[in-house]
């Protein structure tokens, strides 16, 4: 027989071959299972009709098979140690797996090591897994005899005609749909992480089970890296670093709204300044529009119908108002303020003003999920034939911004959903324009068919941070609908009135959230141009105090954020303090430096740059700040460990 294998082409196989034979014939290493259509199948299953995708641990489905099999290993180990334990369910999760179990006596975290050791034995014994199709009556009898009432419940809950399968490994058999690894020995590294309470099928009237959590990997090194990244993420948590570095804080009386401290506001303003510096040359006009509008505006914009749950609403003098969650309606009013000519298009309106969203208090999460935010938001009004050039220009902004932060970007193109607004001709044109703009620079992108908004197709951007975590950041959305709702027009070349197309775009997105991401990406060690304090001057003794003050003043006059630490502490102590505050440079001034007009410079991370003439030092810093030089940041710190 002949099957098509993704990435490998057609393969001829002997009749009766299994997927494992196919993999062996191809010589592809590390394959855990295969996907055929929307089904994932074990390597010991016979080859069927249909295109085959080989799954490894790098695939989400492959990981799921791997870790779900680890949950069987857990169950087998538990049954060896606690023969009276009753098993419920044991699925894979995003990060590992769990098994819900009723132990004869509740276990505690202290019992996990023994279970883990038994699991290691099951792995070392390298049991092959065997799949059996069984009749309902047989399955009920078997699991009743085995003293597994939860399994009996699960079988009884299956439809009459359901195919029932069991999986056997060594002395242990579990009720399961599969799929699994072919052998337990493939699980080279595993760890149990936690035990918590859980109810069978979430029924709090039923018995309280215990959920044992764990994770598993194909190698010890991969598992080590996983736990390193978890620890590193904790160390970098912006909710911890923000207050530690004196950037921002939150208060109980204003949930979801950040207090920007002086240093945090410097960071914030540096980002806004960066955004302005990119947009001004492209002819963006920055505006400021109201943040509270009468409800009738939200009716025109459609927010009343779709977004009121997310808005703060209020009443004054008998009239209903809403605080703006987005700038778009205000910008439409601005566009309609004057008779617009085709000559003004594309008209680019930018605003960094406050936006408010009524996020539920339980979902708030530091700066990553807030109620009060500011975006690097803009709306571009254009003639439909300008779409291609506008998208291309906007993609350029995304490239520049994320290259500056050293974050790789993944692009998603979401196309027309089944239920949508606007002519198909317009959709054709818009989707083609987006694809053409992406193709122009040969950017790699993923198409998410049918995932566009009802008002137009869109591009979403996912950035990867220094720990390999993915963050949804920029968005470029084409909108045919809002200009119609607001009855927007421009006078075209031929004197006729036409409806513009609108593009919503945010490059950094919510600045609050973006700063949260940056704090974690840089672990608080911001590149020079963003650092709230760029240089700290340290006079060695009382005698150099004045000289240090003079150098600091000159630096500040040159646009460098410099300050003096002349506390009565040893120089080593003050250097360590600056390091802890993640200040990019310290400049030490002793008697020799005063006489020579130099400073002794240390870079963050401990690198000694030697003595530098004061004027040269200032000029170097000015150049590096102006060019948004990306070092020195702590990104290099995690090289070989943290970088994906
Ligand atoms: Zn299973
Ligand atoms: Zn918008």
Helix (H) or strand (E) holding 341: strand 340-341
CATH of the domain at 333: 3.30.930.10
Tell whether the model's pLDDT for residue 561 goes beyond 60.
yes
Helix (H) or strand (E) holding 499, with range, is none
The rounded Å distance from CA 165 to ligand 1 centre is: 10
- Select which of 64, 169, 375, 481 is catalytic: 375
Beta-carbon contacts of residue 404 (< 8 Å; ≥ 6 apart): 274, 628, 630
Average pLDDT (133-139) is 95
> How many Å lie between the centroid of ligand 1 and the Cα of residue 67?
10
- 328 among known catalytic residues: yes
Could you give the angle at which helices 424-440 and 387-404 cross, rounded to 10 degrees?
40
Give which of 501, 497, 487, 499 is closest to 457, Cα–Cα.
501
Please, are residues 53 and 40 in contact by the beta-carbon 8 Å criterion? no
273 CA to centre of ligand 1 in angstroms: 54
- The residues facing 356 across adjacent strands are 372
pLDDT value, residue 642 = 35
CA–CA separation, 151 and 201 (whole Å) = 12
Task: Say how far residue 34 (Cα) sits from the centre of its chain.
Answer: 28
Cα–Cα distance measured from residue 363 to residue 355, given in angstroms and rounded to the nearest whole number: 17
Mean pLDDT of the region 621-634: 84
For residues 513 and 430, membership in a common domain is answered with yes
**Nearest one of 402, 472, 413 to 439, comparing CA atoms:** 413
Report yes or no on 556 lying in a domain.
yes
Q: For residue 121, tell me if it sits in a domain.
A: yes
Same domain? For 117 and 177 the reply is yes
Helices (H), 60-181: 60-81, 112-125, 136-145, 149-156
Tens-place pLDDT, residues 436-454: 888 877 788 999 999 888 8
Catalytic residue among 67, 127, 303, 379: 379
In a domain, residue 632? The reply is no
Residues 276 and 415 reside in one and the same domain: yes
CB 51 within 8 A of CB 82: no
φ/ψ region of 27 (left if φ > 0, alpha if ψ in -120 to 50, else beta) reads left
Residue 102 has pLDDT above 60, yes or no: yes
Cα 328 to ligand 2 centroid, rounded to whole Å: 4
From the list 324, 504, 505, 582, the catalytic residue is 504
183 CA → ligand 1 middle, Å: 13
**What is the pLDDT, as a whole number, of residue 644?**
31
Spatial separation of the C-alpha atoms in residues 632 and 213, rounded to whole Å: 40
Q: What is the distance between the alpha carbons of residues 258 and 500, in angstroms, rounded to a whole number?
A: 37
Residue 568's CB: how many other CB atoms inside 10 A?
7
Indicate if 361 and 401 belong to the same structural domain: yes
Cα-to-centroid distance, 99 and ligand 2 (Å): 45
Query: What local confidence, expressed as pLDDT, does residue 634 receive?
Result: 52
Same domain for 263 and 198? Answer: no
* Cβ pair 278, 628 in contact under 8 A: no
**What's the rounded mean pLDDT across residues 196-219?**
93
- CA of residue 579 to ligand 2 center, whole Å: 41
Are 515 and 548 in the same domain? no
Question: Number of structural domains, the chain?
Answer: 5
Question: Of residues 357, 371, 521, 624, which has the active-site annotation?
Answer: 357
Closest ligand to Cα 181? 1
Q: Which ligand is nearest to the CA of 176?
A: 1
Does 411 lie in the same domain as 357? yes
Annotated catalytic residue 375: yes
Indicate whether 345 belongs to any domain. yes
Q: Same domain, yes or no, for 76 and 144?
A: yes
Three-class DSSP labels, 247-287: CEECCCCCCCCCEECHHHHHHHHHHHHHHHHHHHHHCCEEC
Looking at the predicted structure, is the pLDDT value of residue 143 above 70? yes
Ligand nearest to the CA of 178: 1
What would the two tokens of residue 604 be?
A: 């963050």
Average pLDDT of span 64-89: 98
Both 278 and 152 in one domain: the answer is no
Task: Answer yes or no: do 161 and 78 share one domain.
Answer: yes
- Any idea how long the chain is? 644
Shortest-distance ligand to the CA of residue 167 = 1
Asked, for residue 530, whether it belongs to a domain, the answer is no
Ligand 2 ion: Cβ-proximal residues, 5 Å cutoff = 328, 504
Question: Worst-scoring range by mean pLDDT, 254-263, 428-437, 544-553?
Answer: 428-437
303 catalytic residue (yes or no): no
Instruction: Tell me what pLDDT residue 636 has.
Output: 41
Name the residue with tokens 């959590």: 213
Please name the helix (run of DSSP H) or strand (run of DSSP E) that holds residue 344, with its range, or none.
none
As given in the structure block, the two tokens for residue 473 are 């950041």
The rounded Cα 472 to chain-centroid distance in angstroms is 5
Residue 341, strand partner residues: 491
Tell which of 498, 521, 544 closes a domain.
521
Q: How far is the CA of 589 from the centre of ligand 1 (A)?
A: 67
Burial of 7 per CB tally in 10 Å (0-12, 13-18, 19+): exposed
Given a cut of 60, whether residue 613 has pLDDT beyond it is yes
pLDDT in tens, 504-557: 999 999 999 999 999 999 999 999 999 999 999 999 999 999 999 999 999 999
> Which ligand places an atom closest to the C-alpha of 456?
2
Coil vs helix vs strand at 214: strand
81 within a domain of the structure (yes/no): yes
pLDDT tens, 461-487? 999 999 999 999 999 999 988 999 999
Indicate whether 643 pLDDT > 50: no
Q: Is residue 635 part of a domain?
A: no
Q: In the listed set 299, 323, 347, which residue is the last one of a domain according to the structure?
A: 323
Could you say which ligand is closest to the alpha carbon of residue 154? 1
Å from CA of 308 to ligand 2 middle: 16
Residue 11 belongs to domain spanning? 2-56
234 catalytic residue (yes or no): no
Summarize pLDDT for 380-393 with one digit per residue, the tens.
Answer: 999 999 999 999 99
- Report CA(267)–ligand 2 centroid distance (Å): 25
Final residue of a domain: which of 492, 521, 550? 521
Say which CATH number the domain at 17 has: 3.10.20.30
Q: Phi, psi (5° rounding) for residue 519?
A: -55, -45
Poorest-pLDDT segment among 41-45, 309-313, 593-597: 309-313
Instruction: Answer whether 524's CB lies under 8 Å from 235's CB.
Output: no
CA distance 289 to 336: 14
Catalytic residue, candidates 340, 458, 574, 602: 458
- Active-site residue identified among 328, 371, 561, 574: 328
Question: Looking at residue 97, which CATH number applies to its domain?
Answer: 3.30.980.10
- Average pLDDT taken over every residue of the chain: 94
Q: At what angle do helices 511-521 and 262-279 cross, to 10 degrees?
A: 110
Domain identity same for 349 and 301: no
Gap from CA of 145 to ligand 1 centroid (Å): 20
Determine the distance separating the centroid of ligand 1 and the alpha carbon of 178, expressed in angstroms.
Answer: 5
Q: Are 76 and 124 in contact (CB under 8 A)?
A: no
Q: Confirm whether 374 is a catalytic residue.
A: no
578: part of which helix (H) or strand (E)?
Answer: helix 571-580
Structure token digits, residue 159: 């439809």
Q: Looking at the predicted structure, is the pLDDT value of residue 61 above 50?
A: yes
* pLDDT for the residue 444: 87
176 belongs to the catalytic site? no
Q: 3-state class of 140 per DSSP?
A: helix
377 has catalytic annotation:
yes
Regarding whether 347 and 247 lie in a shared domain, the answer is yes
* pLDDT (average), residues 494-502: 96
CA of 413 to the centre of ligand 1 (A): 36
Ligand nearest to the CA of 99: 1
Question: DSSP state, 523?
Answer: T
Per-residue pLDDT, 633:
62
- Residue 303 is predicted with a pLDDT of 83
Tell me the DSSP string of 379-428: EEEE-GGGHHHHHHHHHHHHHHHHHHTT--EEEEEE---SS--S-HHHHH
Whether 644 is in a domain gets the answer no
């Amino acid at each position: 027989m002949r099957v098509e294998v993704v990435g490998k082409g057609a393969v001829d196989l002997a009749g009766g071959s299994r997927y494992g034979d196919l993999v062996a014939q191809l010589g592809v290493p590390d394959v855990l299972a295969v996907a055929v259509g929307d089904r994932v199948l074990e390597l010991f299953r016979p080859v069927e009709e249909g295109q085959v995708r080989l799954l490894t641990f790098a695939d989400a489905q492959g990981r799921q098979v791997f870790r779900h099999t680890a949950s069987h290993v857990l169950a087998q180990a538990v049954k060896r140690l606690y023969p009276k334990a009753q098993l419920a369910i044991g699925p894979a999760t995003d990060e590992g797996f769990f098994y819900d179990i009723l132990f004869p006596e509740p276990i505690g975290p202290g019992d996990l090591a023994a279970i883990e050791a038994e699991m290691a034995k099951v792995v070392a014994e390298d049991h092959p897994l065997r799949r059996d199709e069984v009749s309902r009556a047989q399955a009920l009898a078997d699991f009743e005899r085995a003293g597994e009432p939860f399994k009996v419940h699960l079988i009884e809950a299956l439809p009459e005609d359901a195919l029932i399968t069991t999986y056997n490994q060594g002395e242990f058999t579990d009720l399961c749909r599969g799929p699994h690894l072919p052998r337990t020995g493939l699980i080279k590294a595993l760890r149990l992480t936690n035990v918590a309470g859980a109810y069978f099928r979430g029924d709090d009237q039923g018995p309280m089970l215990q959920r044992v959590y764990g994770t598993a990997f194909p190698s010890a090194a991969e598992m080590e890296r996983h736990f390193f990244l978890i620890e590193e993420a904790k160390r970098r948590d912006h909710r911890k670093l923000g207050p530690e570095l004196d950037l921002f804080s939150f208060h109980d009386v204003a949930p979801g709204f950040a207090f920007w401290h002086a240093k945090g506001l410097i960071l914030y303003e540096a980002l806004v300044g960066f955004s302005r510096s990119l947009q001004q040359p492209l002819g963006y006009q920055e505006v400021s529009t109201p943040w509270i509008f009468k409800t009738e505006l939200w009716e025109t914009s459609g927010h009343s119908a779709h977004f009121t749950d997310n808005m703060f609403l209020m009443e004054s003098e008998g009239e209903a108002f809403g605080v703006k969650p987005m700038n778009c309606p205000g910008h439409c009013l601005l566009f309609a303020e004057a008779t617009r000519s085709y000559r003004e298009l594309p008209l680019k309106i930018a605003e960094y003003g406050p936006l408010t969203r009524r996020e539920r208090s339980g979902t708030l999460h530091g700066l990553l999920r807030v109620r009060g935010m500011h975006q690097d938001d803009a709306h571009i009004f254009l003639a439909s034939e300008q779409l291609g050039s506008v998208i291309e220009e906007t993609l350029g902004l995304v490239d520049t911004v994320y290259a500056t932060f050293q974050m790789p970007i993944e692009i998603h193109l979401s196309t027309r959903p089944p239920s949508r607004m606007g002519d198909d001709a317009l959709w054709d044109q818009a989707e083609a324009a987006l694809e053409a703009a992406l193709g122009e620079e040969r950017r790699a992108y993923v198409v998410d068919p049918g995932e566009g908004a009802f008002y137009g197709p869109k591009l979403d951007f996912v950035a990867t941070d220094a720990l390999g975590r993915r963050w949804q950041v920029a968005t470029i959305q084409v909108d045919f609908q809002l200009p119609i709702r607001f009855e927007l027009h421009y006078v075209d070349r031929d004197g006729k009135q036409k409806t513009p197309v609108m593009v919503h775009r945010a490059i950094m997105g919510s600045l609050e959230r973006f700063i949260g991401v940056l704090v974690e990406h840089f672990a608080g060690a911001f590149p020079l141009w963003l650092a709230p304090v760029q240089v700290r001057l340290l006079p060695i003794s009382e005698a150099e105090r004045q000289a240090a003050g003079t150098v600091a003043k000159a630096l500040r006059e040159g646009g460098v954020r410099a300050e003096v630490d002349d506390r009565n502490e040893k120089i080593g102590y003050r250097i360590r303090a600056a390091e802890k505050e993640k200040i990019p440079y310290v400049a030490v001034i002793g008697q020799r430096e005063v006489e020579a007009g130099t400073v002794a410079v240390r870079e963050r991370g401990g690198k000694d740059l030697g003595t530098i003439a004061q004027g040269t030092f200032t000029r170097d810093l000015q150049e590096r700040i102006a060019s948004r030089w990306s070092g020195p940041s702590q990104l290099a710190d995690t090289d070989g460990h943290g970088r994906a």
